[in-house]
């Protein structure tokens, strides 16, 4: 059952879901996840996390704020695994991402400020990389959620065996169907890697939580789902998962408002958190 725990927990550890429509303001209070998600990862040198990193990252936030830049992002710090920070920026399309990059290149003041901030921040880093992933609505369940009031991400990373992509997608859809029927609170957003650090048959599942108490509840809910599906059927699913999944890992991240450039709507929705200095 260890292999089964991978996808089962990846889909069930949280009932809160994920939404990241921070590329632009929207009149819809709970928009869907972005079609294109750019994830920057900064791996920190020992002793460089916390307030030290927050001070260096504040320069990026100040530069974006001074330019009144329309594209927003937010940060999350690792609570498990290697010390690192993730920065998420969502776009409606690859074309929108390109336009944002080109506009920044042609803004001399912002480019200079970002370069200067990068030199300072770079001294704190052991490594950095980036990835571009695309939203898989067909493999996601009830993915729209008010992320402005969330505080944590669980990110589950599945590496699929070469040549087993169709088997994986069929399995993910079956799990989605089982959870949709058995657990009305289950939510997640699945993204497929396209470029960069996670490239090559890699899928990411995002779960957002208001509190870590939701993890306790979700562990109990997952047992109910397994009981609903039945032991024999779960064993079959476990065998299929072992066949198509090469590796699986889940890590926990805490949102960091001091290193984020959130939309004004998020600040208005929860000023005590997102306006923190």
* Alpha carbon distance 246, 243 (integer Å): 8
Mean pLDDT over 69-74 rounds to 97
Q: Are 20 and 34 in contact (CB under 8 A)?
A: yes
The pLDDT tens digits of the residues spanning 100-124 come to 999 999 999 999 999 999 999 999 9
Write down all domains in the chain, each with its CATH number in brackets: 2-20+135-252 (3.30.70.100), 36-133+254-263 (3.30.70.100)
DSSP 174-217: HHHHHHHHH-TT--BEEEEEEEETT-SSEEEEEEEES-THHHHH
Mean pLDDT to the nearest integer, 53-78: 97
Cα 91 from Cα 158, distance rounded (Å): 23
Provide the sign of the torsion angle of the four alpha carbons 242, 140, 170, 163, taken in this order. negative
**120-140 pLDDT per residue, tens:** 999 999 999 999 999 999 999
Q: Dihedral sign, CA of 103, 53, 198, 263?
A: negative
- Going 219 to 185 to 268 to 31, the CA torsion angle's sign is positive
Q: What is the pLDDT of residues 145-180, one digit of tens each?
A: 899 999 999 999 999 999 999 999 999 998 898 888
Nearest alpha carbon to residue 141 among 16, 9, 266: 16
Q: Which of 150, 147, 151, 156 is nearest to 12 (CA)?
A: 156
pLDDT digits (tens, 9 = 90+) for 88-102: 999 999 999 999 999
Token representation of residue 10: 């990846």
The HSE-up count of residue 15 (CA atoms within 13 Å, CB side) is 18
Q: What is the CA radius of gyration of the chain?
A: 19
pLDDT at 19 (0 to 100): 41
Among 100, 94, 203, 189, residue whose Cα is nearest residue 147 = 189
Q: Which residues of 94-129 are buried (b: 16+ CB within 10 A; e: fewer)?
A: eebbeebeeeeeeeeebeebbeebeeebeebbeebe
Most confident of 35-39, 225-229, 273-277: 35-39
Q: Residue 210 class from Cβ within 10 Å (0-12 exposed, 13-18 middle, 19+ buried)?
A: middle
Distances (CA, A) of 103 to 22, 37, 70, 98: 17, 18, 11, 9
pLDDT at 205: 96
Cβ neighbors of 194 (< 8 A, separation 6 or more) are 132, 133, 134
Please tell me the chain's helix, strand, coil percentages from 3-state DSSP, rounded to the nearest 5.
45, 30, 30
């Amino acid at each position: 059952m260890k292999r089964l725990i991978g996808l089962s927990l990846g889909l069930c550890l949280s009932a809160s879901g994920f939404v990241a429509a921070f590329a632009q303001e929207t009149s819809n209070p709970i928009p869907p996840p972005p079609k294109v998600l750019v994830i920057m990862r900064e791996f920190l040198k020992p002793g460089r996390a916390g307030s030290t990193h927050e001070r260096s990252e504040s320069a990026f936030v100040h530069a974006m704020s001074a330019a009144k830049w329309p594209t927003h992002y937010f940060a999350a710090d690792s609570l498990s695994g290697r010390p690192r920070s993730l920065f998420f920026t969502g776009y409606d399309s690859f074309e929108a991402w390109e336009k944002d990059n080109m506009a920044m290149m042609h803004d001399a003041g912002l480019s200079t400020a970002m370069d200067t901030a990068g030199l300072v921040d770079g001294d704190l880093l052991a490594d950095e990389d980036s990835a571009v992933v695309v939203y898989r609505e067909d493999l996601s369940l009830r993915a729209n959620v008010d992320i402005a009031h969330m505080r944590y991400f669980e990110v589950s990373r599945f590496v699929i065996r070469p040549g087993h992509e169709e088997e994986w997608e069929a399995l993910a859809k079956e799990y989605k169907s089982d959870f949709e029927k058995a657990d009305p609170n289950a939510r997640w957003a699945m993204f497929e890697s396209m470029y960069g650090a996670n490239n090559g048959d890699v899928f990411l599942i995002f779960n957002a939580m208001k509190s870590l108490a939701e993890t306790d509840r979700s562990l109990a809910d997952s047992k109910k789902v397994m009981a609903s599906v039945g032991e024999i059927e779960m064993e079959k699913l476990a065998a299929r998962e072992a066949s198509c999944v090469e590796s699986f890992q889940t890590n926990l991240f805490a949102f960091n408002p001091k290193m984020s450039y959130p939309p004004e709507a998020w600040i208005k929705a929860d000023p005590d958190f997102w306006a923190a200095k």
